[in-house]
Structures are given as C-alpha cells and as structure tokens.
Amino acid sequence: MSIPLQTSAPTMKDYHSQNQSTWCDGCGDYGIWAAIKQALVELKIPPTQTLLCYDVGCHGNMSDKLLGYRFHGLHGRVLPFAAGAKIANPKLPVIAFGGDGASFSEGIGHLVHAVRSHYPIVFVLHNNGNYGLTQGQASSLTPQNQPMNTAPNSIPEGTLNSMDFIFSLEPTFVARGFSGDIKQLKEILKTAISHRGFAFVDVLQACPTYNHFATHTMLMQKCYKVEDENHDSSDFVKARKLAVDTGKRIATGILYRNENVPNFIERLVPRQGKTTTPVEEVQTFDVSKLMEEFI
C-alpha cells in the first residue's frame, strides 16, 4: 500500500477545525494548541501526515479542535498507544499529549517505560498542577500544603519532583516550555519532533479556575529562557540542576538533548535494513520454512 504525499506546504488553515473551543478563558491549553499547529506548519507536515494522540483531561479536548489524524484515548494510557502507532508506521511523526494528573499517577508506569524504551515520539506534558477536568483535585505534582477539591485540609501525600524523576530515567530530550510564550514553545516542539528518540516536553500552563498557586502571572515572572544564558544542552548534570531548581526562577527552553542514542526501532534486530513499515508489510507470510522444524 502506498501512502501518497501531499506536496504543497500546509498552512495554519489546513489544521483549522470548525469546532468551538471548550476551555476556560485564560487556560494555558490555548497557547499549547497554537504552538503545536505552528510547529507542524513550519515543519511542513500536512495534517494527513501526522498522528496526534491525546490522553484524557482538559488538554484532551483539543482532539477535535484541530485537524490531522487524531486519537483521544483513555486516562493515563496515551503513551503505549502512541508508541504502538509509531512502531507500525515510523514514517509518520507521532505526538502524544497528556496532563500532569494522568501522566504522573495512573499513567506513570507508561511514562517510565516510554522513556526507558526510547520510542521515537514526542510527549507534551500539559502541566497545570492539578486535575482540571474533574474539578480541581490534587495531582501528584500539586504542592503538599495546597488545599484542593477532595482535600480541604491539603493533601497528606508528598509532591513528586517531576523533573528530578524524569532525569533519573536517563532521557535523551527534556525541554520545558510555558504556555504564555507560544513562540519559544513552537521552537521547542519543532526540535522535539525532529528528535531521534523520546522527547519529553514539560509545558507549564495556567489553570485559571483551579490552580491559584502557580498562576499565569507568576509563571510569566519566574520563567526565563536558557538560550538567553548560553546553556549547553548537552550537559546532563547542569540540565538536571536547572530543571529541578525552580525556587527563584524557572528555566525554560531545551534543557537537555542527546541525538547519539539509537531509538527503540533502530535497536530492533529484525527491522535492520527494512525499507518497508509494518503497516506496508501486511500480507500472507509464507511459513513453509518455519514448519520444517516440526516435521
């Protein structure tokens, strides 16, 4: 089966959906939504040549607010679905989106193994520090002393240091964006899409309805761009320190990037030298040679 390629360069209009947005005014999802469309257009990827996979949460409501081949799945499970899709057809860029609620609770096992497996996909973390769609419960990234829905006395559990956790998994691409800086986020996403393996993009975003501890204004004041301060993104130790140290200032930009590690598909021995994709290979396979061992 041949997949014909669209030749003319796509425009923002090609990604435009008629469906009206359902996010709250001031939601950080708007910025991420704009940045991803811009990144795809600037990379000249038409909507027919990408797969956008959404987890369940407020961000997932983006799934029908833009065009492209899209998938909106189960809470916490977006990564293995996206990985399976990518392995089946490595020619298509696959971008997965998930919130901090699902990704660091129900889906944390998938996240660990997606980094470890080094699937060549992008993961965009919509990080608003709480469960928005279910009305403001604490996520594992919500500060411990913060009263939330279902936890009026604040949550008894500790807070997960998401960046320290991600760096402990030896990732090859870690970036942090801010939904209020669409231009920078677009550039981050473009590089992430071009990355050889698993690209983790943490996007800090406001949740004006439920998150009163990390507001848009606060994020705007604290975020700075590492590219303005000559950060060496090949320095793993420095990158980890920058990522974790968010007390006074929050570092944004491409924190760490290593293009020298083969990805999951490149490591598969049976796939070496294959020019076809598993999607293109579906046909009856002659097993007569394999039967011989049983005679």
Rounded Cα–Cα distance for residues 228 and 135 (Å): 37
Task: Please tell me whether residue 47 binds other proteins under the rule CB under 8 A.
Answer: yes
Q: Using CB under 8 A, which of 32, 87, 95, 148 touches other proteins? A: 87
Q: Is 188 helix (H, G, I), strand (E, B) or coil?
A: helix
User: Rounded to 5, what percent of the chain is helix, strand, coil?
Assistant: 35, 20, 45
Under rule CB under 8 A, which residues in 251-290 are in contact with other proteins?
268-271, 274, 277-279, 281-290
Residue appearing with tokens 């899209």: 70
| Choice between 235 and 281, CB closer to other proteins | 281
Rounded Cα–Cα distance for residues 32 and 30 (Å): 6
Q: Of the ranges 2-10, 129-137, 164-172, 190-198, which one interacts with other proteins (CB under 8 A)?
A: 2-10
Beta-bridged to residue 202, according to DSSP, are 125, 176
- Count of CA atoms in the C-beta half-sphere (13 A) of 22: 13
Q: Using CB under 8 A, which of 39, 40, 41, 82 touches other proteins? A: 82
Q: Using CB under 8 A, which of 36, 40, 56, 102 touches other proteins? A: 56
Task: Please tell me whether residue 84 binds other proteins under the rule CB under 8 A.
Answer: yes
CB of 59 to other proteins, least distance (A): 14
Residue-level length of the chain: 295
Binding residues with other proteins: total (CB under 8 A): 62
| Choice between 118 and 231, CB closer to other proteins | 118
Q: Using CB under 8 A, which of 21, 113, 146, 241 touches other proteins? A: 113
Rounded Cα–Cα distance for residues 255 and 239 (Å): 5
Q: Is 69 helix (H, G, I), strand (E, B) or coil?
A: strand
Contact 94, 82 (CB under 8 A): yes
Task: Please tell me whether residue 109 binds other proteins under the rule CB under 8 A.
Answer: yes
Rounded Cα–Cα distance for residues 168 and 162 (Å): 10
Instruction: Give contact residues for other proteins (rule: CB under 8 A).
Output: 1, 3-6, 17, 19, 47-49, 51, 53, 56, 61, 63-64, 67-74, 77, 80-89, 91-92, 109-110, 112-113, 268-271, 274, 277-279, 281-291, 294-295
